[in-house]
Structure 1
């Protein structure tokens, strides 16, 4: 089976879908791997490292993918790349299934597309969960971004010139990114408060030494997949009042709230920003989906009402080496059970709930029509 690893061409994307480590393991399982020249360079994986593991180098995307049975990517195939992948090939990547306008084209091209965002959140699939592995990195780096733009210390310092009080950090959303942000901010010496609509997050938050801020709710705010669900208007009103109170006291706010398939919920309004202290910082990890603060700007750092808003859309790519290593292992763990060494092909078992959940299209048929009905 021939596996292709092309260069990622999307703006600001420095990650690569396979590292020399995982390439070596694919080759050990009987596969042949072709890597486009420069695919791992931005993530500090030079071409020679792939060659040393047994990979073959190709000059461009077409040369790498034209005969490939399996294409490994970080970002989805672009419109011009679809025609360069042979009919019947499998493509494994992040797909952005709720916003990608090319979904039907993938099916029409006869591709078998696996969407790594749709791998179910079950125990057996934890090692394949790219959303968690990348969110973990985003949460960590978000704190470092905040520290870069915050012009004071994070920890309390007692000096001969006086005592410096610790920074007050408010983390919104206690998912994987939020929990890592909490842990990192605490390690840096900040006082941390956390808001999440899911009451179940309280125990995890407090175990990290942070204070949990909650709004009482009658309905369960967590769906069957473990994600936060959208709440009713009364809850949103009470939520806004509570957040406004805590935001006014915060030195740093890190927002991580996302609802799959919907624009990011607005948690920090312009009025809340106006109430914050001059020099405060907001890191909006939801900026790619519209932002948890309407003042955030995509891939920009702006100052509004004396507050610095950091709107980096692809935070994991800022740590491309480790982000690629974790992502590549996720893909290896996902694909390894499907590789049939004797037949030299990918065995797609639709009775496996992980495979069935992640497979978007196959043999010209789109298997998740509800995504197309959303008008994307």
Structure 2
């Protein structure tokens, strides 16, 4: 069966869905691998390395003659509609914000797998692209704040006086949040963090940060993710978080609900209440944002009501792509491992009795299988 990897077309995307290492893995499974010329160059993988690993490097891909299509970013609707009926796609799909593509995949009869929908199972760790890319994004978010922040992060004691450390607040203590905590700590900041999941308090403490306790609790939702709060409880959460946000020099938000728009954790009023020179980095900007007024891929300057000056609101866009070599190394391995689960003796056959395969399936046999996305499409 023929597996195809194209060069990513979205502006700014530098990752690739296969590396020479994973090409060799797929070839060993009995699959034929075709990769578009230049697909891995931005991630430091040249065409010759792919050829040496057993792939066929082609200048033009025959989209109508493939069995499996591997990708990083969500497919364009036009490309999705040209895929052959029965084809399989594996990649990040952002279903809540890419509804035209989801509809095109269903209409074309494509079996598509969205890696952000992989259930939180112990045996799913090797295919958990959401976690691997969140690790990269959490690290990068702190660096973006570090570069823009007009002060030092660490404590300095000098003959000219003492410079206090920056106070960093991280909202969301998943993989991205924990990596942000660790990176900010290594840079010398004083770090605190909040997550609606009570179990995350120990994880935050293990990273050397202070857990922010609010008079608001929630249980974990399906798959180990945080459960979406009701409107009343979400409003109460923002009210309780407000003084902690106002006291922070740097705020990093990482909360996401797979397959749904990101929850609003911070209002515009809360942002304007931060001190002049403060930084806000929203990792969820592409899925709507955790911070009201965020714009993905842009910096928004918000006048501070706590003094003369502005608060900088940074909307992260494709954060993991800023570190394409290591991000691709992790992501491509996730993709190859997922494909390997469905492959026997060179034949790719999804087993929908497997809860991991079924949970990650977005479309199959002409319909949208992911219930929240089907609801958004009205199908």
The whole-number CA distance in structure 1 between the counterparts of 2:106 and 2:229 is 35
User: Structure 2: which 5+ residue stretches go unaligned?
Assistant: 304-309
User: Equivalent residue for 1:367?
Assistant: 369
**TM-score (norm. length: structure 2):** 0.92
Note the alpha carbon deviations across 1:27-77, whole angstroms, 9 max, x for none: 1222221110111112221112111212111113x43x3322111111232
TM-aligned CA deviation for residue 359 of structure 1 = 2.3
Which residue matches 2:355? Answer: 353
The 5-angstrom pairing of residues 138-177 of structure 1 reads 138-177=137-176
Residue correspondence of structure 1 range 45-84 to structure 2 within 5 A: 45-60=45-60, 62-63=61-62, 65-84=63-82
Q: Is the 8 A contact 1:197 1:214 kept in 2?
A: no
Aligned to 1:131: 130
Encode CA deviations 1:243-294: one digit per residue, 9 max, x unaligned. Answer: 2211222110001122344432222222222221211111011111222222
How many angstroms apart in 2 are the aligned matches of 1:368 and 1:230?
A: 17
Give the superposition deviation at 1:365.
4.3
| Contact 1:167–1:191, Cα closer than 8 Å, also in 2 | yes
Partner in structure 2 of residue 21 of structure 1: 21
The answer to whether the 8 Å contact 1:92/1:113 transfers is: yes
| C-alpha deviation, 1:124, in angstroms | 0.7
Alignment of 1:1-376 (within 5 A): 1-60=1-60, 62-63=61-62, 65-100=63-98, 101-217=100-216, 220-305=218-303, 306-341=310-345, 344-368=346-370, 370-375=372-377
In 2, distance between residues paired with 1:298 and 1:260?
18
Q: Does the CA-based 8 Å contact 1:16-1:324 persist in structure 2?
A: yes
Q: Quick one: structure 1 residues 261 and 18, their matched pair in 2 at CA, closer, same or farther if it must change by over 3 Å? A: closer
Q: Which stretch shifts more, 286-295 or 232-241?
A: 232-241
**Paired residue total:** 371
**Alignment root-mean-square deviation, CA:** 1.8
Change (3 A) 1:76 1:289: closer
Distance 1:232 1:27, change over 3 A: closer
Note if contact 2:5-2:18 (Cα within 8 Å) is conserved in structure 1.
yes
How far apart in 1 are the matches of 2:165 and 2:338? Answer: 43
Contact 1:227-1:259 at 8 Å conserved across structures: yes
Q: 1:91 to 1:309 in 2, by over 3 A?
A: same
SS at match of 2:376: coil
Q: Structure 1 stretch 112-121 or stretch 360-369: which is displaced more?
A: 360-369
Question: How far off its partner does 1:11 sit?
Answer: 2.3
Question: Judging changes above 3 Å, is the alpha-carbon distance between structure 1 residues 121 and 79 closer, same or farther for their aligned structure 2 residues?
Answer: same
SS at match of 2:168: strand
Aligned-partner Cα distance in 2 for 1:103–1:231: 26
Q: Whole-Å Cα distance in 2 between the matches of residues 86 and 231 of structure 1? A: 40
Stretches (4+) displaced over 6 A: none
